Amino acid sequence: MKSVLNVGGRGKTIDAIPHYAGWRHHLVDARRLQTLPPKSYDAVYCSHHLQHFYRHEGASILRGFDQLLGPGGFVEIHVHNLAAVFEHVVRNKLDIDDKLYDSSDGPILVHDVLFGFSHEIEKSGWELSGHRTGFSPKSLRRFLSENGFPFDAVVFPRPFEICGYFFREQPSEENIRLLSLPR
């Protein structure tokens, strides 16, 4: 049975993602990657978590992903698309405290995308909920490539989000089909 590591998720929410159906799921905090056995996962899923770390910390996390992935493994990363956010803010003359979009957690302000979801930070009191870095499609590709994942397929599932699939080597036909990647 294939296995996926959910890094930083608030729960095993990836069960609903079709390409992980039937896989074994494991949830872990990014700061605990070194406690897991090497080469023990087929995929790493990291949704809206990398932006909570400074770049040098993110690079260390990616090296941890590399150690945990078995042959042919891949990383799926979701982050805000700051290039799209900036374009939208300028085009629509938004202020930092204006609503950017609605989410299941409530309205998301421009401020929330840049610095972290303020209601969550206030409620939890957890400093790591703040954003310490951000990405555009170009910067995400470069960051992953510089840290061991030179092959990618980047998609834009929502207006202000990047979803990237990153590989250490050319993706296999099986992974191309699984993830519905362009050829």
Query: For the chain, what are the domain ranges?
Result: 3-80+133-178
The stretches of the chain forming alpha helices (DSSP H) are: 55-68, 82-91, 110-115, 118-124, 137-146, 173-178
Cβ atoms of 137 and 161 within 8 Å: the answer is no
- Please identify which residue in the block is written with the tokens 């207006």: 159
Cβ atoms of 70 and 23 within 8 Å: the answer is no
Local mean pLDDT, 10-residue blocks, the chain (183 residues): 86 73 91 93 94 95 97 96 97 98 90 90 78 95 96 87 95 94 84
Give Cβ neighbours of residue 90 (< 8 Å, ≥ 6 apart): none
Neighbours of 135 (CB within 10 A): 23
Global pTM?
Answer: 0.92
Query: What's the CA gap between 110 and 22, in Å, rounded?
Result: 37
| Fold for the domain defined by 3-80+133-178 | Rossmann fold (3.40.50)
